[in-house]
Amino acid sequence: MASKDAQNQRSRSLPGFLPGASDPDHGLHISPSNPGNQVWQRGPPPPGSLPPGLEYLSQLDLIIIHQQVELLGMILGTETSNKYEIKNSLGQRIYFAVEESICFNRTFCSTLRSCTLKITDNSGREVITVNRPLRCNSCWCPCYLQELEIQAPPGTIVGYVAQKWDPFLPKFTIQNADKEDILKIVGPCATCGCFGDVDFEVKTINEKLTIGKISKYWSGFVNDVFTNADNFGIHVPADLDVTVKAAMIGACFLFDFMFFEHSLAGL
């Protein structure tokens, strides 16, 4: 145990070393001139029983999600499967997410479509699976609202994101594997974000304390009108459980589908 603690202390003492390389002396280092071109490489997990592939999340207090633009969909005006890059605060990619859904659902069910989002690390290993069933999205249908199932690793349920009925504000809860409420997410009354960011506050269950937020970053009028590409930031305490951070990533995808999928809605 002492040797592991010494190894972890050594890794933290090397600010240029990206966690996860097989050997800190020969690992991947940050390029100060252009850190955004680097990717994080998986390596030995820290002490504890973290789900495989989620070790790096334990170090992050900011997770950036960037939706990739599908040029074919822009040209043809069709709805294509969503793809997202998940990055750290330095802009280095740590995961990649791809939506799996059928064309019929994307065309006729649009933003309400059922789908599966598979999240892989930079080695191509699937580490998180997000399942979204076909559900309603209206305050007039309080019995069948939106819900996501989070698996990490695939096949092991670690949590849920569930929409809660409210006549005025978009509200959601982060739940554990037993569907017990852990945190609440409360959005603004208007999610159009015409000239600024849209913030969804992460709160304790009684809503008295705000511990973080999920922000949809405003990328400018031209980008928002003519593309469906959205950028999000998840701001949470670094010591938050990694399975809850995985659920926050899933919540980000859900908000994109519900509120920002169509370009005019994401202004």
How is the chain split into domains, by residue range?
A: 58-259
**CA of residue 130 relative to chain centroid, distance:** 10
CB 175 within 8 A of CB 160: yes
With H, G, I as helix, E, B as strand and everything else as coil, classify residue 223: helix
Interval 147-203: pLDDT, tens: 999 999 999 999 999 999 888 889 999 999 999 999 999 999 876 656 678 999 999
Q: What is the mean pLDDT of the chain?
A: 76
Contact 131, 116 (CB under 8 A): yes
Residue 169 φ/ψ region, left for φ over 0, alpha for ψ in the -120 to 50 degree band, beta for the rest: beta
In terms of Cα–Cα distance, which of 76, 126, 138, 151 is closest to 106? Answer: 76
What is the pLDDT, as a whole number, of residue 218? 73
19 has pLDDT over 50: no
48-76 residue pLDDT tens: 578 999 999 998 999 999 988 766 655 65
Please identify, in words, the CATH class of the domain defined by 58-259: mainly beta
Per DSSP, helices labelled H in 125-234 are 221-226
Place of tokens 């594997």: 177
CA separation for the pair 85, 111 (Å, rounded): 20
pTM of the model: 0.74
Which of the given ranges, 50-64, 91-105, 129-143, has the highest pLDDT on average?
Answer: 50-64
Cβ-in-10-Å burial (0-12, 13-18, 19+) of 206 comes to exposed
